[in-house]
Structures are given as structure tokens and as C-alpha cells.
Amino acid sequence: MFEGLALLGQSMLTFAEPRALVYTFGATLLGILIGCMPGLSATLAISLLTTLTIRLPAGDAILILICAYVGTIYGGSRSAILLNIPGTAANAAACLDGYQLAKRGEAGRAMGIATTGSVAGSLFGIVCLAILTPALGEVALTFQSYEFFWLALFGVMMSGSITGSDPLKGWIMGILGLFVALIGQDGIHAHERFAYGDPNLAGGLSLIPTLVGAFGCAEVLTVMGERFKQARVYAVDSILPRISDVLKYWKTVLRSGVIGVYIGILPGVGEDMAAWSSYAAAKRASKNPEEFGHGSVEGLIAAETGDNASIPGGIIPALALAIPGSAPAAVLLAAMMIHGVKPGPMLMIENPSFVYDVVAMNVYATLGILFFGLFLVRPLLKILTVPRSIIMPIIFVLCVVGSFSIAQRLFDVWTMLGVGVAVFFLRRYGYHPAPFVLGLVLGDLMDKSLRRGLVISDGDLTPFFTRPISAVLAVIVIFTLVMSIPAANIAIRRAVLGIFRRRAA
């Protein structure tokens, strides 16, 4: 424990020098600005910045990405409160009460509450990140290929089940992502799969251009294809949070923090679900549930605490297991790998200081959102007045340059465009891109784990179902699949209700 504290102290000092502070505040500000702009997601921000920071040292690059991630999720609350349009999907829950407060002339108060909730959620998540990552890493040391196979599949299935509105379509996207990840040389025998002699395909579809396509190009096409009404930005009163607002709802902050971290840890389930779950739990536990949706301070605190707590939550499995907790965490994981960091169970043994570096980066990012949230509110609101007809073409040029900059080949630009066009169409028919991203990141792990597991067991499938953790994960995956079949779902629910009724009688 003391060793961990010493490492954390060292990491905090590492990033307390001028260059790192410039990166911290610059990236957090950039993240907030991106988050403010409806349509630009945290995944897009991290994907684009990964391409920009590719030549920086690993520590600096990951610091920038984490600060941008935290800033984007926080910044999305601005447009949620002032325009009733969530800047990112994670801030949709904040619209319900934030916008109502703004309509009452309390936009500043709402933003102060959002800042406080975000900071509290981030700090709670950071504590969990510091404590749970080493613990989970230690447990994961006992994992073999069987567990990693199920974890990868579990991540994709969970993401498919929860992130969209239709689990079946989510799973299809997840399977598609897993398949696309397998194009190119396989990880065991270096045999070219689905390349058909094309040297570009033989190297596989590059991860970052594919991600930029799925979240950047598709988003640009979506927004450019839509007509938007001129939004009305409400006047802003004092943005300083009232201490009474925070202290009064400490239980809500704590509960939302726990929910946010828990949902963050679940593979593939993102900040939006954390915000909605925290909001729903706060409403259930509130003495004034009727105020929710009509300008409830408690509701806004719950939503903003939940989504920000899930950021460090999503990083926990990414570091300890190399299984990302959300789509932005998947891109962050990919960026870490590009920069030579190897997340996974061996991280705490090979590079223990890195975990505490990430904790420190989160702390500095939180300080960044606190600073900008309290002192730079009005100038930041100017971004809301920039028309999207100007922003989106610029974002597209950045998508093109970013995709090209990874390997300086036009094939990556075409990959980005192809994936972007495909995801644009699929989204219109209810196919969410988040499971696709999870599949893309986890495809290689799942492929190698299944084949290695089969080699170790000499083709025997029983270890996949009999080892304790494998068994639990297998049951969850199979149960999730079965519950999605309407007839089976109804039959199981009836059976469970019947058991409860018999017990009650």
C-alpha cells in the first residue's frame, strides 16, 4: 500500500512541471470545447488526438488523451444545460434538469452544479482506479486463455446489449468488429486472412483510421446531412457552486459515484449508461422524485457525477485486463498499445508506475475541468455560437489528415471513408457503432485466446466452462443471449415470479 502511495506521489510530481501542465490544461480545454459541440463525441476526440500525438513521448501523449477524454465528457454538459442538446451521449441525462434550470434563469447555477458533480464523480472514480486496478491486476494474473476468451466475448456482448436500443443489432455490430479485426496477418502463424494478395489488406485495417471513420466521418456525414434550428442560449447567472447544494446531496454523489464506477468497469458499457443509471437510482431514492425532469438539482448532480465517475471506471479494466470499459476507453487502450505500453495483467509487474501515472493524469484532468468550469465559463460559451456548417467540414479535414498521419498511406484515408460511410448507413437503421469498436479492439485477443485455449486443452472445450471465472462469464454471456429471445425471456420471468409467489404463500 505504502509502495503504491509512493508511486502515486512520484507520478503526481512527474506531471507537475510546466510542459505537462501546458498539455494538461490545453488538452482539457480542447476536450471541453469538443464536448460543448453537439455531435462530437469523446471517442472522436480521443481518436483524432491519438493521430495528432503519435510522435510525442508515451507519457505526454496519454496525458493529453486522458485530459481530452475527461474534458469532453464534462464539456458536453454545457450544451445540455444551455441548448437542451447533449454535447456527448453521456450528457443526455443532464438535459432533463439542467435545461429546466436554465429556463428558470439558473443556467449558471446548473453549470456550477454540473462542475461540482463532475469533479466529485471524477475524484471518486480516481480513488477506485488507484485501489481497484492493482487488485484486479493481481486477480487477473490467474487468468488463462479461457478467461480472456470469455472476457473479450463478454465485453462485446455486454456492449451490444446495452449501448443501443436493440441487443441483436448491437451483437451483429460486435461480431462485425471482431471479424474486421481479423483481417490481415493472424497473430499466431502470421498467415494472411481475407487479404487476397493486397499488401494493404495484408497488414490489416489500421485501428485508428477505422475508429476515426466509425466515430468521426460517420458523425460528420450525419450532422452535415441534417438541418438544425438556430438554438437559443440562455443567459448565465453566477456559476460558483453553492456548498449547500453539494453537502445536501452527498448521498446522491456517493451513490452515483459507485454506480458510475461499476458501470464503467463493465466492459463496453459507456458513460451514457452510467449517467442514466445514476439518474434513475437518484430518482428512486429521492424524497422529491416529482422534481426530476423539472429542474431538480439532485437529478443534475446524479447524472454528472455518474458519467464522470465512469471515466476512471472504464480505464480500470483497460489497464488491468486490456479489456476497455467503454468506447472511448477502447481508443485509449489502442493508443496506449501504439505508444508501446502493454496493458493487461502483467502491467502491474512490468510497469507498475504507469498505473499511478494514469491516476495522476486523471487528477490533473479533474483540476483542469474545475479550473475551466469555474473561471472560464462565459468565453467557453462562444463555441456554442459557431455554426456546425463551419465546424463539421474542418473536423472532416482533420479526420483525413489524422488517418493519413499514422502511416502516411492513402489506404488509411480510404479505410476511414469506407468505415465512415458504412457506419453512417448502419446507424440510420439502429446499428450502434460502440460494439463495433469493442469488437475491433478485442478481436485479436479473442482469436488468440480461443486458439491457445484449445491447444492447451488439446481440443477439449470443458475448461472454457468449468474453470470458476470462465464458468461465471460463460453463464452471463449465455444468459444474456437467452434473455434476448422474447419467448425464453417471458418463460424465465414467469418461472422466477412463480418461485417468489410460492415462497410468499
Partner 1 sequence: MSVRGTHDRPFGLFWLALGLAIAFESWRMPRLEEQGINPYTIPGLVPGLLGLILGIFGVVLFFRRAPMAEGVALEGNDGGVAEPWRVALAFLLCVGFGVGALGHGPPFWLGAGLFLFLAIILFEYPDHKAAGTLRYGIIRAALVGAIGAAAITLIFQEIFLVRLP
Q: Which of residues 14-43 bind partner 1 (CB under 8 A)?
A: 38-39, 41
Count of chain residues binding partner 1 (CB under 8 A): 83
Say whether residue 262 binds partner 1 (CB under 8 A).
no
* Nearest Cα to Cα of residue 86 among 42, 118, 38: 38
Q: Are 388 and 206 in contact (CB under 8 A)?
A: no
Options 11-19, 57-65, 185-193, 238-246: segment touching partner 1 (CB under 8 A): 185-193
Say whether residue 99 binds partner 1 (CB under 8 A).
no
Q: Which is nearer to partner 1, 191 or 294 (CB)?
A: 191
Say whether residue 272 binds partner 1 (CB under 8 A).
yes
C-alpha dist (Å) from residue 331 to 16, 71, 77, 292? 26, 16, 22, 34
Say whether residue 60 binds partner 1 (CB under 8 A).
no
Binder among 21, 131, 176, 483 for partner 1 (CB under 8 A): 176
Q: x/- binding map, residues 434-473, to partner 1, per CB under 8 A?
A: x-----------xx--xxx-xx--xx--------------
Query: Which residues, listed in sequence order, are joined to residue 185 by a DSSP beta bridge?
Result: 192
Say whether residue 271 binds partner 1 (CB under 8 A).
no
Q: Which is nearer to partner 1, 251 or 493 (CB)?
A: 493
Q: How many CA atoms lie within 13 A of 314 on its CB side?
A: 36
Say whether residue 236 binds partner 1 (CB under 8 A).
no
Say whether residue 298 binds partner 1 (CB under 8 A).
no
Cβ 388 to partner 1 shortest distance, Å: 9
Kindly identify the residues of this chain, within the stretch 191-220, that bind partner 1 according to CB under 8 A.
191, 193-194, 217, 219-220
Kindly identify the residues of this chain, within the stretch 382-441, that bind partner 1 according to CB under 8 A.
387, 389-390, 392-394, 396-398, 400-401, 404-405, 408, 410, 413-414, 416-417, 420-421, 427-430, 432-434
Cβ 251 to partner 1 shortest distance, Å: 26
- Label residue 226 left, alpha or beta by phi (over 0 means left) and psi (-120 to 50 means alpha): beta
Kindly identify the residues of this chain, within the stretch 323-352, that bind partner 1 according to CB under 8 A.
none
Binder among 35, 86, 264, 373 for partner 1 (CB under 8 A): 86
Cβ 358 to partner 1 shortest distance, Å: 24
Cβ 193 to partner 1 shortest distance, Å: 6
Q: Are 438 and 174 in contact (CB under 8 A)?
A: yes
Task: Write a three-state SS string for 399-438.
Answer: HHHHHHHHHCCHHHHHHHHHHHHHHHHHHHCCCCHHHHHH
Kindly identify the residues of this chain, within the stretch 129-168, that bind partner 1 according to CB under 8 A.
163-168
Binder among 62, 85, 355, 442 for partner 1 (CB under 8 A): 85
CA 327 to CA 350: how far, in whole Å? 26
CA 354 to CA 351: how far, in whole Å? 6
Three cell numbers at 216? Answer: 468521426
Q: Are 66 and 56 in contact (CB under 8 A)?
A: no
* Nearest Cα to Cα of residue 29 among 371, 363, 390, 362: 371
Three cell numbers at 265? Answer: 468497469
CA 148 to CA 160: how far, in whole Å? 18
CA 281 to CA 303: how far, in whole Å? 10
Say whether residue 226 binds partner 1 (CB under 8 A).
yes
Cβ 434 to partner 1 shortest distance, Å: 8
Say whether residue 2 binds partner 1 (CB under 8 A).
no
CA 84 to CA 79: how far, in whole Å? 6
